Structure 1
Amino acid sequence: RQGGEMTDAPVPLAGAQPRGEAAPVAGGGGGAASPPPPAARRGRTSPLLPTLAVSESDGPPVRTRGRLSSNDWTRGADIGAIFGLDVGGSLAKLVFFERTAPPGIVRPPSASSLAKPTMERARSLEVLNTPACSKALRSFYDFMASEEITKYLGSVVHEDHLAFYSQDLGGMIHFVHFATSDMDRVLQLIRSHKLAHAVLRLGCTGGGSFKYQKEIEEQLGVQVVAVDEMETLVRGIEFVVSTVAGECYTYKLEGDEDAEEDKERDPLVEDGQGAEDEPTSAKKVSERWTAKVQRPAVALQDIFPYLLVSIGSGVSIVRVDGFNSYQRVSGSSIGGGTFFGLARLITGCSSYDELLKLAQCGDATKCDMLVGDIYGRTYSKIGLASDVVASSFGRLMSMPTEDIEQLTKPEDRARALLMMITNNIGQVAYLNAVQHNTSRIYFIGNFLRRNKISCHRLSYAIDYWSSSQMEARFLEHEGYFGALGAWILSASQEEDLPLPLGQSRATPPPSSPNGPHAP
């Protein structure tokens, strides 16, 4: 997902499964062989579910062939323990679990090393060992791998490269997302296959989980187990950081020979544009601080404390001290929304991806005022090189209004704005890390998706300001922590909640031609 060479190969924990490597298949519940993972089955038609006649209309798919009625393959089955859903404003993220054999010889999991929520989820997965659940699971996995889904829902993305094996839970965890605007069509698709008959409860988080709770419960007969959004985020991050080898990564200087030389530079130094008598400063830091270095998984107890910097429309900063021990300590209204809004104003672009592509080609020094613009040279008394930014967009102050469009390009303005926002976020994060005495800073949020410019700059800035005592870290499963946390944490709530009226774990929810389960 991020560019750059990978160095310092991670040292996997025993049993940690590298992303994207499918685990060998072993026997499943009831003595039957488990199906191959969804990635290997992609494009097949389910042998247990009816095929779909997909038309160009907006209506739900129509079954053209059926081999089993819903009661034949869902009676007595409850596979809700394998799902976690995070419904955001633009994307809905789904994680689901698949029991498989471990990828090689691994040590048995140690219960003492597991957080309580993970242990509870592990115990809840024991319900999947019944013959009824095994049949329902095979139907679901084939359903997820069928061509009908992508034909009917163009926004569905199976992120097979993110799938990983969890030793503690004994299976693969898979990741899918789709546009939240397609939620109604997703519900129609599930109803047409009667999959909801095999699910009693569903762990959900995100603002959309409240928005669509009524529809999910009334149309599918599935009880929504709502989990606090911040709790799911924190728990999801802790789970992958302690489970997945290479989950965390940062960026370092390309090559070691110039590392010490460039560490003397201020992170506010512009990309190039140095004075002729300052050859070191003339090097383009953001183009050289690009070596992607992945970090090994760490023991769960060694994660704390850490600072979580979530960059969405604004910035929220949370200090996490331990299990169920976290607090929001700071934040900023200057975040991704600020960049997107102002960038649209000064460039005319309408999409975030377009802005990032534009910024990659820009030169921020066309807009920014540098120390050299003020003093004509390096301000040696206080250690400022001539190419340090003195004022973001300050160069435009003295530029005639009618010349701004000619002397600066949209890509220059986009780059200058992106660097200004990123530098500000990095400074705020660093100061909070100092105040709260933590060296680990995890940056997450939609602002960083496909935004390598900001990831490179944050990595360099945190390293410089902290004299290499702190590190900016990023995560491969960005965007899925809420869904993972909802899946894990909902286990502790499932047994405490009453079942929907008229349902039990031994029987499917009621169905009638006019009811919520009608095809």
Structure 2
Amino acid sequence: SIDIGGTLAKVVLFQPRSAPPADGQSPELDLGPHGSDVFGMDQLELSVYSHELRGNLHFFVFETRHVSDVLAFMSQHWSRPDGTDGADQRPMIVLRATGGGAYKHADEFRRAGVMLDLVDEMSAMVAGLGFLLKRIPGELFKVDVNAGGQWTPLATPAACAQLARNYVSVESPPSSYLYVSIGSGVSILEVHSGSTEGALRYRRVGGSSVGGSTFWGLVRLLTSCSTS
């Protein structure tokens, strides 16, 4: 699946595995002889084994402006099992997708032999967070702000580092919470557990167009940097 945002695109690859990797080892990813050309280790952010899914989840991040390079790779190297190449000669690959860029680049993906199954971005965000909170250990914590002194927006890096050592693990997710998503823009969602197990109700209560893309733009104006 893929989330194509205004600045970054996030990809999740799932590989079925009958057993988790050995203790202390990260799951390995093998995309074949050409896989590292696009999804190289410099883009690989995280790999985890999911006992519930019985397989490995691999997470990638790359700049949305490079999506054409990814499409060229898919069109050139992903072929049918019988070895026939070419996007127009193989069955369509169906890829779950969300984000504004998924609508913008849908035709390009189709020409590369990939049909995007579009999902509402807010629904995907809430469902994904619900999965992490309930199924992936160590994802939920709170901060004891009083243990290391009161935090303020003007806190020094050293004070923030001290505060980070006061993380307290939370065993079960809250039934209601505010979900703040900070990407190219900012969205604030009010989320409540539904009456059915695993169901979540939500509504957008606020947000701003000022987010990560604004920060990148200011950095570029204030410095000579032109890439990440």
TM-score normalised by structure 1 residue count: 0.34
Task: Report the AA paired with residue 100 of structure 1.
Answer: R
**Distance (whole Å) between structure 2 residues aligned to residue 178 and residue 334 of structure 1:** 21
What is the correspondence of 1:428-439 to structure 2 with a 5 Å cutoff? none
Distance 1:294 1:352 in 2: 39
Question: Matched residue of 2:18: which SS?
Answer: coil
- Which of 57, 76, 93 matches 1:173? 57
1:92 paired with 2:9, answer yes
Aligned equivalent of 1:216, options 109, 114, 120: 109
CA distance in 2, matches of 1:292, 1:325: 31
Q: 1:103 to 1:329 in 2, by over 3 A?
A: same
Whether the 8 Å CA contact 1:156–1:178 is kept in 2: the answer is no
Q: Does 1:325 find its partner at 2:201?
A: yes
Whole-Å separation in 1 of the counterparts to 2:129 and 2:18: 24
Distance in 2 separating the partners of 1:352 and 1:316? 27
Aligned-pair distance for 1:149?
A: 3.7
Does the CA contact (< 8 Å) of 2:74 and 2:112 recur in 1? no
Task: Note if contact 1:156-1:177 (Cα within 8 Å) is conserved in structure 2.
Answer: no
Alignment RMSD: 3.5
8 Å CA contact 1:241–1:297 kept in 2: the answer is: no
- 2:76 aligns with 192
SS in 1 for 2:132: helix
Over residues 424-449 of structure 1, what are the superposed CA-to-partner deviations in whole Å (9 max), with x where a residue is unaligned?
xxxxxxxxxxxxxxxxxxxxxxxxxx
1:155–1:179: 8 Å Cα contact kept in structure 2? no
Higher relative contact order (CA 8 A, sep 6+): 1
Candidates 178, 182, 185, aligned match of 2:66? 182
**SS of 1:163 mapped into structure 2:** strand
TM-superposed CA distance for 1:295, in Å, is: 2.6
Q: How far 1:177 moved relative to its partner? A: 2.7
d(CA) in 2 for partners of 1:213 and 1:219?
10
One-letter amino acid matched to 2:130: E
For 1:293, give the aligned amino acid: Y
Structure 1 contact 153–182 (Cα < 8 Å) conserved: no
Which residue pairs with 1:228 in the alignment? 120
CA offset at residue 332 of structure 1?
Answer: 4.4
Counterpart in the other structure of 2:44 = 158
* Larger strand fraction of residues: 2
Would the alpha carbon gap of residues 339 and 292 (structure 1) be closer, same or farther in structure 2, given more than 3 Å must change? farther
CA distance in 2, matches of 1:293, 1:319: 23
Equivalent of 1:286 in 151, 160, 169: 160
For 1:341 and 1:308, locate their aligned partners in 2 and report how far apart those are by CA, in whole Å. Answer: 25
User: What is the 5 A alignment of 1:342-491?
Assistant: 348-349=222-223
**8 Å contact kept, 2:38–2:70:** no
Kindly provide the amino acid, as one letter, of the partner of residue 104 in structure 2. K
CA shift in 2, pair 1:155/1:182, >3 Å: farther
Q: Which amino acid aligns with 1:306?
A: Y
Q: Is the 8 A contact 1:150 1:156 kept in 2?
A: no
In the alignment, is residue 309 of structure 1 matched against residue 172 of structure 2?
Answer: no
Q: For residues 193 and 331 of structure 1, do their structure 2 counterparts lie closer, same or farther at Cα, with a shift above 3 Å needed?
A: closer
Structure 2: runs of 5 or more not aligned = 22-28, 80-86, 194-198
Structure with greater Cα Rg: 1
User: In the TM superposition, what is the alpha-carbon distance from 1:188 to its structure 2 partner?
Assistant: 2.2
Residue 219 of structure 1 and its aligned partner are, at CA, apart by 2.9
TM-superposed CA distance for 1:340, in Å, is 5.2
- Residues matched between the structures, number: 206
How far apart, CA to CA, are the structure 2 residues paired with 1:175 and 1:294? 26
Task: Give the Cα–Cα distance (whole angstroms) in 1 for the partners of residues 213 and 67 of structure 2.
Answer: 25
Alpha-carbon separation, structure 1, partners of 2:18 and 2:226: 41
